[in-house]
Amino acid sequence: MNIILLVLAIVAAVVFTLAVTALVDLLRHDGAGRTRAPRSHPADQFDPYAQRFGRSAA
């Protein structure tokens, strides 16, 4: 009986880890296209979210 509980605990830990990994992967991507959001750099004067939210980069 203890071995069954141990196996169930290991399976639950693996499933939890996979679920957290999938959630983090979803949060790191932008929208349903599953592409990473472009990175901006201050020297580029480029804000990838400016057009979406109606702000200018300057």
Instruction: Report the distance separating Cα 35 and Cα 32, nearest Å.
Output: 8
Predicted local distance difference test score (pLDDT) of residue 6: 96
* pLDDT score, position 58: 53
Decide if 36 contacts 28 (C-beta within 8 A): yes
Mean pLDDT of 18-26: 88
Does 7 map to a domain? yes
Q: Can you give the pLDDT at residue 8?
A: 97
Tell me if 55 sits within 8 A of 47, measured CB to CB: yes
Specify the number of domains making up the chain.
1
Q: Which residue has the higher pLDDT, 57 or 14?
A: 14
Query: What is the model's pLDDT at position 27?
Result: 78
For residue 1, what pLDDT is reported? 81
Mean pLDDT for 29-48 is 60
| Cα–Cα separations (whole angstroms), residue 10 to 4, 5, 17, 52, 54 | 10, 9, 11, 44, 49
Entry pTM: 0.47
What DSSP designation does 35 have?
B
Domain enclosing residue 22, as ranges: 1-27
Residue 50 lies inside a defined structural domain of this protein: no
